[in-house]
C-alpha cells in the first residue's frame, strides 16, 4: 500500500493546490473526517469550512472551501468546491469586513447567512494557519 495521498484541491475556475500529503482533514455534513493513506473509497459532501492538508514534510496547508465534495479512492483525494482559497491567499481584513457586512445584512436572509459562514470559514483558515 502506498503511504501517501495524492491530493487535488480544485475550485470551479482553477486548480488551487495539488501535491502529496500524509493526512487530509475536512468537514463533511456528517462531521470532521481525517483521511489517511489507505482510506476506503468515499464520496462525501463538504460544508463551508476549513480543509487541512499535512504534507509529507510536516507542513500544514490550510484552505477555506465552501460547500463541495470530497472523493477518496486509491489514495487519491480530490476536494471540489466552487470557491476555494489557500490561507495565504486570503485577505484577512477583507474577510473580516465581509463578515461584518454580512452580519449586519440581517439574520433571516439566506444569502447573508451563507456569506457569514463563508467569511467565518476564511477567517478560521487564516487563524489556523497563523
Should residue 74 be labelled a site residue for another protein when binding is judged by CB under 8 A? yes
Residue number, 10 or 90, with CB nearest to another protein: 10
3-state secondary structure of 58: coil
Residue number, 12 or 97, with CB nearest to another protein: 12
Q: Where are the beta strands (DSSP E) in 5-125?
A: 5-11, 14-28, 31-35, 42-46, 49-55, 60-65, 68-73, 76-81, 84-86
- Among 6, 17, 20, 28, the residue binding another protein under the rule CB under 8 A is 28
Should residue 44 be labelled a site residue for another protein when binding is judged by CB under 8 A? yes
- Residue 49: partners with Cβ closer than 8 Å, 6 or more residues away: 26, 27, 64, 65, 121, 124
Should residue 71 be labelled a site residue for another protein when binding is judged by CB under 8 A? yes
- Among 15, 97, 101, 111, the residue binding another protein under the rule CB under 8 A is 15
Single out the segment in contact with another protein by CB under 8 A; choices: 53-61, 65-73, 87-95, 99-107. Answer: 65-73
Residue number, 86 or 129, with CB nearest to another protein: 86
Q: How far apart are CA 64 and CA 45, in angstroms?
A: 15
Amino acid at each position: 500500500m502506498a503511504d501517501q495521498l495524492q491530493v487535488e484541491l480544485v475550485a470551479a475556475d482553477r486548480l488551487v493546490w495539488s501535491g502529496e500529503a500524509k493526512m487530509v482533514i475536512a468537514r463533511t455534513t456528517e462531521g470532521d473526517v481525517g483521511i489517511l493513506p489507505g482510506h476506503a473509497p468515499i464520496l462525501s459532501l463538504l460544508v463551508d469550512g476549513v480543509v487541512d492538508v499535512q504534507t509529507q514534510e510536516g507542513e500544514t496547508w490550510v484552505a477555506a472551501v465552501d460547500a463541495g465534495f470530497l472523493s477518496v479512492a486509491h489514495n487519491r483525494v480530490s476536494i471540489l468546491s466552487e470557491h476555494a482559497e489557500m490561507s495565504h491567499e486570503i485577505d484577512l481584513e477583507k474577510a473580516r469586513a465581509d463578515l461584518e457586512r454580512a452580519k449586519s445584512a440581517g439574520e433571516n436572509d439566506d444569502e447573508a447567512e451563507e456569506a457569514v459562514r463563508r467569511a467565518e470559514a476564511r477567517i478560521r483558515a487564516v487563524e489556523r494557519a497563523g
